[in-house]
Chains A and B, each alone.
Chain A
Amino acid sequence: MTTTLPTPGHYDVLNAVVLKQMAVGAAVSEATGVGLDDVDAILAELAGAGLVFMAGDSALPTDGSAPALAEVAALRYAALRSDPAVLAEVDRFEDTNTQMLATMTRWQTVEVGGRQVPNDHTDPAYDEKVVARIDRLVQRLGPLLDALAAHDPRFALYRQRFDAALDAVDSGRREFVSSPTHDSVHTVWFEFHEDLLRALGRARTE
């Protein structure tokens, strides 16, 4: 750890803020497993160091956030970055990610007469097919999450969040498929992808 991020908890809290881009303490606590009181104390420290900006109760990343995380990740995940078990699963994830983005788009839009129009969710059979596809793609992450959790147990939290989102969808709350204001499948997927890239020291591609 560094002087700006002296403990794993500091990394985890700042990482969650950068992943969420705008988050209250409770959401950071839920995503990291760090207690709320500790999250609030760490956010205050990070704000003092210029690594987060507090807008009311919400924390936002600053220009210094990502570089500080990258510096720590290079040390914290050095072994992970050279683990063949992880890297093999990461290669498979790239294809799965492409399929998930396309499937999310199919959830949001339907093709009518060769044109994409918004999905008004009046065709349960179509929606069920897309949700089943999303479920299968999430299940494909299992081996990667296991491989990552062997290096850092916090990656196991993603499985819990995916399960919670899919359970909510199954109970009829379709906002848990892709809404950015909920801990939806897409929200969790996006955060996992960002988290994975940071752990690996890789940049996103378009």
Chain B
Amino acid sequence: MGDVLAEGYNVFNTNKSPEGVIKYLGAPQDVIGLIQSGKLGEHILLVRGGTTTFLAPALSMGAIGVITMSGAPESHLGILSREFQTPCVMTAHLTSSDSRYVVGETDDSHFEEIARELDGKRVRLDCTDHEVGRVVLAD
């Protein structure tokens, strides 16, 4: 396994190991732009929360992998990712940082740091562990 950049909850166990360039999606317009670009399948999608509802069109149109910075596998997005069988790592934290998401106690700097560090990097998702999903730097 290569360098593990981030870890979080593995929403479901799968041997799928999607690889792509991480793209941070912060608003509905970002999803529209990605779908219009025709490059949805080239990206691992990074969103802020498990309650991010605007990701649904991307999932239904074939998103290959998702990383969230908050939320639980039992959330709406977790349920959707299992239905679409889209590998998903939730509440990911950087392995290089001590910052962790805590419900109601996490400020924007936590999310900004993760987005800054991961956006644009080519990675693959390792979702073979029953509990931990890993974001691995691609060779």
Chain A residues with a Cβ under 8 A of chain B:
20-22, 53, 55, 60-63, 65-66, 101-102, 104-105, 108-109, 115-118, 178-181, 186, 190, 194, 204-206
The verdict on B103 contacting chain A, using a C-beta distance below 8 Å, is yes
With a cutoff of 8 Å between Cβ atoms, the chain B residues found around residue A53 in the complex are: 32
Chain B residues with a Cβ under 8 A of chain A:
12-13, 27-29, 31-32, 35-36, 49-51, 53-54, 56-57, 59-60, 70-76, 78-80, 82-84, 103-104, 130
CA distance A152 to B73 in the complex (A): 33
The residue in chain B whose Cβ has the minimal distance to the Cβ of A107 is B79
If over half of A's interface residues share one DSSP class (helix, strand or loop), that class is named, otherwise mixed; here it is mixed
Total number of residue pairs linking A and B with CB closer than 8 Å: 77
With a cutoff of 8 Å between Cβ atoms, the chain B residues found around residue A116 in the complex are: 12-13, 130
Contact assessment for B29 and A63 in the assembled complex, using a CB-CB cutoff below 8 Å = yes
Q: Known interface pairs A108-B83, A109-B12, A116-B130. Does A61 touch B76 (Cβ–Cβ under 8 Å)?
A: no
With a cutoff of 8 Å between Cβ atoms, the chain B residues found around residue A105 in the complex are: 73-74, 78-79, 82
CA distance A53 to B12 in the complex (A): 32
Contact of B57 among A21, A63, A108, A206 (CB under 8 A): A21
CA distance A117 to B36 in the complex (A): 35
